[in-house]
Amino acid sequence: MKFKDLAIYLDKLEKTSSRNEMTVILADLLKKLSADEIDKTVYLVLGQLAANYEGIVLNLAEKMMFRVIAKAYSVTAEKAKELFKQKGDIGVVAQSLAKEKKSSLDVNEVLERLLDIAKDSGEGSQERKVEKMADLLSNLDPLSARFVSRIPLGRLRLCFLDKTVIDALSWMAKGYKSVKNQIEKAYQVLPDPGILAKNIKEKGLEKATKNVFPQVGVPVLPMLAQRLKSPKEMIVKMGRKVSVEPKLDGLRLSIHFKKGKNGFIKAYTRNLNETSWMFPELKNIGSQIKADEVILDSEAVGLDEETKKMVDFQTTMTRRRKHEIEKAALKTGIEFFVFDIVFKDGQNLMEKSYLERRGELEATLTSGKILRLIDYELTDNPEKINAFYQEKVKQGYEGIIVKNTEGYYVPGRTGWRWVKMKQVESAKSRLSDTIDCLVMGYTVGKGKRTGFGVGQFLVGVLDPTSRKASRGEGNYKTVTKIGTGLTDEQFRELKKRLVPLEVKEKPKEYEVSKLLIHDYWVYPKLVVEIAADEITKSPSHTAGLALRFPRLVRFRDDRKPEDTTTLAELKKLYEMQRK
């Protein structure tokens, strides 16, 4: 398919607000693609160059894109910047400057050229990237230029994610969404929408989605815990003896280990980012693993090198700065607490019970200095669960995880397989957990805060079941504004993160009351963890609920916007605090 033909579909998708209409348009596009181009097209319509876990990005920031536009269309960078300020969209700027022409580049050629730009590194690479991107844009028609120029900034503006692709694949295969659950189950084990689409096109629906095994080097979507307050209710919900494990305040990591000549060690966060570069300690884990290939579920926890005590999540995450890894490692060591195993030497363990997986884990892993097998206790006594919780909190853990001993490893937060019980952050707090929220906008503030550039910021939660959400609108509903409880350093860090995300108009994914006026809206990307004393009913926030005395706990770089707390979960927390 020529890219100019794909651009016509992208234009239709951008102009469509109905989720169902988007699905039908996308399905029609997928039907017309060959097996050789369907995977590449799926990545492009998602604004990506490959699956998320591959971590392939263009590294062309906004300022560099002004230079790209200038070189591609023979204008100055200042002119490109001025047009961007007027239009608020680099794609519209490129489209307005591009000349009508017969563009002959096909989808595969465009992706190959973008991949070449992304992989260019070393001395002089920034200049080469600008040259190559400018050359690509100059060879595209105006409509194609609009969409291709948006990709480097991660703002394709089509307002859908992998789940819409899954719906479209179901529609492509059957003419309706009835098999989307079957496709989604395969996606949970192999979260690569491009490969999934290619397999369905080549093998047919049944062969492509049945008996999908985990693959070492491809992250499995993680299993998540539900929330319950009462140990007695946990026993009732799970209906049998349970396993109780300590809950750590660390970074959830899926560790992939392959031995041999072509071996490797990779570590993926719960939002599928590959982060093994953050943890040089992992290169020494081979002696602790009795297997050729294995996928382990773990929590990376920082340890203060002087006190040898566990540090909080934010301290552990100081390693995200690549140029400071060695310095951070000297100050804060890392231990990996392993609590599950999903694959070993060709065997899919996801459909084994918790106890069977635990037995396999103990036979596979030698607990040591780097990898530590997490402790657990089996019980059907609520009092013992509570005693275990109190003991672990005193030892510095965040709380406990209670697990159904017969439960399979099922990605996502479904059923009563895992339940968490966390330490309450404040003595006044009636909440049993913190809340993951999306930052939607902010005001610049007054007085001292004008120096930070942020006075208050607005956050919301996800409501994927609302009527508007089905049309691609109002997916996120507001729950609170936060302007106190931040340190000076947090205010500065917040501003630094928000500036690149600023957009001229309110994203259509946001449902916000007209009473909540902000200086800047931001693109849906930044997730924060929020603590509060309680949840109250609210007529001014579109969630219908609000957080009382909210405070920023930390930035959640391991969360994607779709991983935020849902409105249904917030309502459940509201009911739990009243018990």
pLDDT in tens, 3-39: 999 999 999 999 887 878 889 999 999 999 999 999 9
Computed over its alpha carbons, how large is the radius of gyration of the chain? 24
Decide if pLDDT at 479 tops 90.
yes
Q: Please give the pLDDT value at position 157.
A: 76
Whole-Å CA distances, 471 to 365, 402, 466, 468, 576: 48, 38, 9, 5, 31
CA–CA distance, 90 with 329 (Å, rounded to integer) = 39
Could you give the angle at which helices 162-174 and 193-203 cross, rounded to 10 degrees?
A: 10
Residues 473 and 494 in one domain: yes
* Residue 171 falls inside a structural domain: no
For residues 38-51, average pLDDT: 95
Domain boundary among 399, 422, 445: 422
CA–CA distance, 147 with 552 (Å, rounded to integer) = 35
CA–CA distance, 108 with 188 (Å, rounded to integer) = 26
SS3 for 311?
Answer: coil
* Residue 111 falls inside a structural domain: no
Taking the CB of residue 305, how many other CB atoms lie within 10 A of it? 12
Query: 531: domain CATH number?
Result: 2.40.50.140
Residues 247 and 362 in one domain: yes
Decide if pLDDT at 524 tops 50.
yes
Residues 256 and 402 in one domain: yes
Closest listed residue to residue 569, CA positions, set 413, 424, 376? 413
The DSSP annotation for 233-273 comes to HHHHHH-S-EEEEEEPSSEEEEEEEE-STT-EEEEE-TT--
Q: Please give the pLDDT value at position 426.
A: 45
| Residue found under tokens 């989605």 | 209
CB 291 within 8 A of CB 364: yes
Query: 354: domain CATH number?
Result: 3.30.470.30
| Residue found under tokens 């009508």 | 100
CA–CA distance, 321 with 328 (Å, rounded to integer) = 9
* Residue 98 falls inside a structural domain: no
Q: How confident is the model at residue 118 (pLDDT cuts 50, 70, 90)?
A: very high
* Residue 113 falls inside a structural domain: no
- At a CB cut-off of 8 Å and minimum separation 6, what does 60 contact? 68, 117, 129, 130, 133, 152, 153
Decide if pLDDT at 469 tops 60.
no
Whole-Å CA distances, 249 to 145, 300, 396, 397, 423: 45, 9, 9, 7, 11
The proportion of the chain whose per-residue pLDDT surpasses 90, expressed as a percent, equals 60
CA–CA distance, 477 with 463 (Å, rounded to integer) = 7
* Residue 450 falls inside a structural domain: yes
CA atoms within 13 A on the CB side of 422: 18
Burial 427-464 (b: 16+ CB within 10 A, else e): eebbbbbbbbbbbbbbbebeeebeebbbbbbbbbbbbe
Q: From the candidates 247, 344, 422, 481, which is the catalytic residue?
A: 247
Which of the two residues, 228 and 144, has the higher pLDDT score? 144
Which of the two residues, 195 and 59, has the higher pLDDT score? 195
SS3 for 447?
Answer: helix
Mean pLDDT, the chain, integer: 89
For residues 233-257, average pLDDT: 91
Q: Quote the DSSP letter at residue 192.
A: -
State which residues form the domain around 334. Answer: 226-422
**For residue range 418-466, what is the model confidence (pLDDT) as tens digits?**
999 876 544 455 676 889 999 999 998 766 666 678 889 999 999 987 6
The proportion of the chain whose per-residue pLDDT surpasses 70, expressed as a percent, equals 91
**Which helix (H) or strand (E) segment is 340 a member of?**
strand 332-344
Residues 258 and 399 in one domain: yes
* Residue 491 falls inside a structural domain: yes
Residues 301 and 396 in one domain: yes
Domain boundary among 362, 389, 422: 422
**For residue range 375-389, what is the model confidence (pLDDT) as tens digits?**
999 999 999 999 999
Residues 316 and 386 in one domain: yes
* Residue 210 falls inside a structural domain: no
Whole-Å CA distances, 349 to 219, 506, 552: 14, 45, 38
Rounded to the nearest 5 percent, the helix, strand and coil shares of the chain are 40, 20, 35
Residues 415 and 440 in one domain: no
Residues 400 and 453 in one domain: no
| Residue found under tokens 């005395």 | 549
CA–CA distance, 97 with 81 (Å, rounded to integer) = 13
> Which value, to the nearest 10 degrees, does the dihedral of the CA atoms of residues 382, 239, 433, 566 take?
-170
**For residue range 392-421, what is the model confidence (pLDDT) as tens digits?**
988 888 889 999 999 999 998 888 899 998
Domain boundary among 357, 392, 422: 422
| Residue found under tokens 């000297």 | 330
- At a CB cut-off of 8 Å and minimum separation 6, what does 240 contact? 380, 404, 405, 406
Residues 550 and 450 in one domain: yes
Residues 284 and 235 in one domain: yes
What pTM was estimated for this model as a whole? Answer: 0.82
Q: Please give the pLDDT value at position 448.
A: 60
Residues 396 and 455 in one domain: no
**For residue range 84-116, what is the model confidence (pLDDT) as tens digits?**
988 888 999 999 999 888 888 999 999 999 999
**For residue range 300-331, what is the model confidence (pLDDT) as tens digits?**
988 776 666 777 766 667 666 666 666 666 66
Residues 501 and 365 in one domain: no
* Residue 285 falls inside a structural domain: yes
Whole-Å CA distances, 463 to 165, 298, 479, 561: 19, 29, 12, 12
CA–CA distance, 368 with 335 (Å, rounded to integer) = 9
Angle (CA) 373-377-381 rounded to 5° is 160
Number of domains in the chain: 2
CB 531 within 8 A of CB 553: yes
Decide if pLDDT at 40 tops 50.
yes
Assess whether 247 carries a catalytic annotation.
yes
- At a CB cut-off of 8 Å and minimum separation 6, what does 29 contact? 6, 9, 41, 45, 168
Q: What are φ and ψ of residue 172, in 5° steps? A: -65, -40
